[in-house]
Structure formats: C-alpha cells, structure tokens
Amino acid sequence: MAANITYREALNQALREELQNNPDVFIIGEEVAQYGGAYKVTEGLYKEFGPERVVDTPISEEGIAGCGIGAAMLGLRPVVEMMTVNFTLLAMDQIVNNAAKLRYMSGGQFQIPAVIRTPQSLGLQLGAQHSQSLEAWYAHVPGLKVIAPATPADAKGLLKSSIRDNNPIIFLENEMLYGTKGEVPEGELFIPIGKADVKRQGKDITLISYSMMLIQAMKAADTLAKEGIDVEVLDLRTLRPLDAESILASVKKTHKAVIAEADWKSCGMGAEVTSIILSGAFDYLDAPVVRVALAEVPMPYSKPLEKAAIPTADDIAAAVRKIMGKG
C-alpha cells in the first residue's frame, strides 16, 4: 500500500518514526518546536515528543551546529534544522572543520551521526543572498555525505537512512518541492545512501539531474517523447558519494548525456558528473556532454530576470534536441 502525500509530510513521517524508534534521536533548530519549523516539517512533533526531543534554539547557526556535533560525539543522533542553506554559511567552521573531520582525526574514536537538514530554493524572489544552491560546496568536503532528494518517497527513505548513518550528513530540501505530492509506501522505508535511481527508462539519451531540477527534467522528457526522442532520466539523489556505476551504465546504454543542475555551472555538480562520464565512458559517447545550469550571476530579485536565470524544462529539451540533431 502507498499513500499520495506531500514532500513535507514525507519528511515529517520520517522524523516521527525515527523519534519513536530511538530515544537518542532528537531535533534541534530555530522554531522547530511549538511553531513546527519554518516550513512546517516538524509540525506536531513537539506536542508528541516534548521539549527534550524537539528543541528550540537561539538564532545562532554556529551554536546550533556545535550543539548537534557535540551531542553526536556523545552518542546521540541529532537532526539539526537550519532555516535555509544560506544560513549554514555562518556554521561553516563547525560543519567543515568539526563535523567532517573529527571521526578521521580521532582515528574513529568519535562518530558524528548528525543530520543537518536545510532547505534551499530558487524562483521565489528571495534575493541573491537567500536564493542559492550550495550543494557543490559541501560535496567538495571529505567526511560529509550530501543528499538532495526530489520526490516524497526518496525524501522519506533517505532521511530515515541518514538518521541511522554514523556520518555527518547535509540533507538538502528544496523549498519548491515541499508542496509536491507523490506515492510513498506505507510503513518503514529505507533508501540506500549513494545510490542513484532511474526515474524514466529510455534508449536515446541520458538526462541526469537531482532535486528540483529533476521535476524539470521529467517534464522535458515527456515533451521530447512526443517528438520521438526516448529519454532516460537518472536522479542522482546522493551527491556525495556519487553513484558513478549508475551514471556510467546509463551513458554506455544511450551514448549521449545532458546534465541539468540547479546550481552555477562553474565548479558545480555537473562538472564532477561530466568528469565521471569522460573518465569511464568516453569511448561510448557519440556527442559531447552538455550541461544546463543557472546563469553565472547572483540571483536577481526582479521576477523576469530571476526567471531568465533559472533553467527550465524548455531549456533542457532544447539541449537534448541539439545533441540529437533536431534542434
């Protein structure tokens, strides 16, 4: 059996189930308790589990991250909610220099089973400082795992797996996805970290994406199918570690690849995926790898300019047509 629920509800289910499963799990962050979280992901959990398991904090991102990391060092399993990925920059020292490195530097004496949940978004007219996709920053750091699910089922299954993992995890939720719906199996659901998923089978070209851009990729694939182009859509889901095996298997099958990403092209996730393809499937390629990404500018506030900066399904479809010789 499966239920058609929102991305937000799927996350809430995962948190509730893990709080019920393990008394060492707790949630910490700004407005996560009585208010239910800035995006209502933790709604109802304070009432059910109380102030020791769902903990409101002062507005101090470095302090919130530090509390979570310290608790993890002592054997608890904190789920740290940062109000937006932009605010995680204030905690970069804690995340990069402590969370990511303490297990290695202690020779395994300390584990850091901490999940840092944070939304990021584009397209909501929040201005340059609040409209950023920073996944590549964190995916660059050894010691961190970085996850960016696109569907409610993946959000639930990967969050539950993350909470049970013994490593620090950056769990990226896109604000544009919170209200989207999808089928989520009832009961326990665990999705392995580090495993991509073929969301649509195809034979003509591989379209690789993740998070909010996967929605645009699927729309593009639907449009292209009407034109006789059979697109395979691969959802990365986990950005560190990347599932190189699935990337290469799909490209070797289709011999062509387009990467659609919701971050800047320079030094972005698409660059790493392209490197994997060129290193492991170069001889299989019938065309250059093409990337569709954000415009190389701080995000404009103006709605028309913001719209021009963000890739769409039409942009992705155009890139595919060009490779297929139909553009």
Please report, rounded to a whole number, the percentage of residues in the chain having pLDDT higher than 90: 94
In this predicted structure, the answer to whether residue 182 has a pLDDT above a threshold of 80 is yes
Percent of the chain residues past pLDDT 70, beyond the cut: 100
pLDDT at 111 over 90: yes
Per-domain boundaries in the chain: 2-185, 197-323
pLDDT value, residue 41: 97
Task: Give all strands (DSSP E) within the chain, no chain letters.
Answer: 2-6, 25-29, 54-56, 77-81, 115-120, 145-147, 169-174, 181-185, 197-200, 205-209, 231-235, 238-240, 257-264, 290-294
Q: What is the pLDDT of residue 58?
A: 95
Q: What is the model's pLDDT at position 124?
A: 85
**Chain centroid to CA 269:** 12
What is the mean predicted confidence (pLDDT) over 143-166? 98
- As assigned by CATH, the class of the 197-323 domain is alpha beta
Instruction: Provide the pLDDT for residue 122.
Output: 85
Q: What are phi and psi of 72, to 5 degrees?
A: -65, -40
pTM for this model (two decimals): 0.96
Predicted local distance difference test score (pLDDT) of residue 1: 80
Quote the pLDDT of residue 174: 94
CATH fold of the domain at 2-185? Rossmann fold (3.40.50)
The catalytic site residues sit at 61, 130
pLDDT of residue 317: 98
Measured CA to CA, the distance from residue 112 to residue 50 in angstroms comes to 24
Q: Cα separation of 325 and 124, whole Å? A: 35
Residues 6+ apart with CB under 8 A from 270: 259, 261, 291, 293
Percent helix, percent strand, percent coil in the chain, to nearest 5: 40, 20, 40
- The yes-or-no answer to whether 2-185 and 197-323 have a common fold is yes
Mean pLDDT of 204-226: 97
Question: What is the separation, in whole angstroms, between the first and last Cα of the chain?
Answer: 43
